[in-house]
Structure 1
Amino acid sequence: MIATTERRYSLEEYRAIAETSTEKCEYHDGEIITMTGGTATHSRISRNIVNFLDNNLEGTNFEAFNNDLRIWIPKYRCGVYPDAMVVDGQLQFHDGREDEILNPLLIVEVLSPSTQKYDRTDKFEMYRSIPSLGEYILIRQERPFVELYRKQSNGWLFSDCAGLENSILLDSINVELAMTKIYRNVIF
């Protein structure tokens, strides 16, 4: 991620830039952050997750989305693009826009060397301010390892899963996700 620090931008200026930009960019309370490209492994994992979620949520009230839909986080005045997410029921749009939602239930980030610290700390702090969020999943690229944070009444419960022979239960959507599905076509 590369921040533009020359000046601060209004949300309206950001939206105008984002609509015409050839690069994906996030908004962080006046700063525009250009997103770096991903690897083939990152892309495979993201695709695998969205495909799995989409297939397994058919006929339910849940809907999976890829990284083209932005989440607006009011408390931090941020618009970010997770690698995948699930929404329960109707989408709640920010400012009536169809490219910014407010109500993800489950968010997935595929970790990269350049973003893993941010995804675990500042970005997770921002995500935790979203009232609808129930689960946050971090997926490593270099080995089969998943970190899962689940909202509880007294905070966030952490668990992890390692090895292709295992699976994780996504409580928020009542789906079991096999590690082999996450890492399909990924070579370690």
Structure 2
Amino acid sequence: MISTISRRYSLDEYRAIEEKAEGRSEYRDGEIVPMPGGMLKHSRIGRNILTYFTSVMRDTQFEPINSDLRLWIPEHRRGVYPDVMVFDGEPQLNGDVYDKPQERLRLDEVLNPVLIVEVLSPSTADYDQLSKFRMYRSIPSFSEYLLVEQDEPFIERYSKQAQGWLLSDFSGLEVSISLDSVSIELPMAEIYGGVVFE
């Protein structure tokens, strides 16, 4: 039996690597986990959602952001890249509360989305639905979560209620999703525009 020792990285080491890396990696409390590249359907769906949000949220206090910006989850010491995040007002930047308190704000890490969208891939679907959602729930501002299937027009929406999280699901291109956190309707046809189902 051969035992292996996996290397653990400090936050500073991870951030230095990530700034120069060609691909993106998540930080999981000392582990650096490369993210798989997206497929065409995944990219189209993410683009469609971001484009729609950008259009309908113009001249409101809400700001949608794409997957280039890292979300820091302090309670779990995780740095992740959701497909789409929406902020109510100005995004709150991470102030390095663990490593260098009050030294500076990071321009590449945010803390306070109200809405997160994940487009599900076969390799990450379980992680997005279970572990990642549990971690997202530790974010005080977070109140709505969309899990978007890419192989059929189907979405699970979780919305924060006083008694817990309420699940609603939506199927078919003719329906719309009411997003309470940002006060808009999101048509399924907009999400899946240009997507070919096999």
Shorter-chain TM-score bucket reads: over 0.9
Question: Normalising by the residue count of structure 2, what TM-score does the alignment of the two structures yield?
Answer: 0.92
The runs of at least 4 consecutive aligned structure 1 residues that moved more than 2 Å come to none
Q: Unaligned regions of 5+ residues in structure 1, if any?
A: none
Matched, 1:100 2:82: no
The Cα offsets for residues 57-115 of structure 1, whole Å up to 9 and x where unpaired, read as 00000000000011100000001000001000111111200110000000000000000
Query: Which residue does 1:166 correspond to in 2?
Result: 175
The Cα offsets for residues 99-157 of structure 1, whole Å up to 9 and x where unpaired, read as 10000000000000000000000000000000000100000000000000000111100
CA RMSD of superposed structures (Å): 0.7
Query: Which residue does 1:49 correspond to in 2?
Result: 49
**Structure 2 counterparts to residues 12-91 of structure 1, below 5 A:** 12-91=12-91
Deviation at residue 6 of structure 1 after TM alignment: 2.4
Name the aligned partner's letter for residue 78 of structure 1. R
CA–CA separation in structure 2 for the residues paired with 1:184 and 1:40: 13
CA–CA separation in structure 2 for the residues paired with 1:85 and 1:140: 17
Name the aligned partner's letter for residue 139 of structure 2. I
Query: Which residue does 1:183 correspond to in 2?
Result: 192
**Identity in percent:** 57
Question: Normalising by the residue count of structure 1, what TM-score does the alignment of the two structures yield?
Answer: 0.97
- Tell me, what secondary structure is at the counterpart of 2:82? coil
- Tell me, what secondary structure is at the counterpart of 2:12? helix
**Greater share of strand residues, 1 or 2?**
1
Query: Which residue does 1:149 correspond to in 2?
Result: 158
Q: Unaligned regions of 5+ residues in structure 2, if any?
A: 96-104
- Aligned pairs, how many? 184
CA–CA separation in structure 1 for the residues paired with 2:111 and 2:158: 19
CA–CA separation in structure 2 for the residues paired with 1:171 and 1:142: 26
CA–CA separation in structure 1 for the residues paired with 2:137 and 2:26: 18
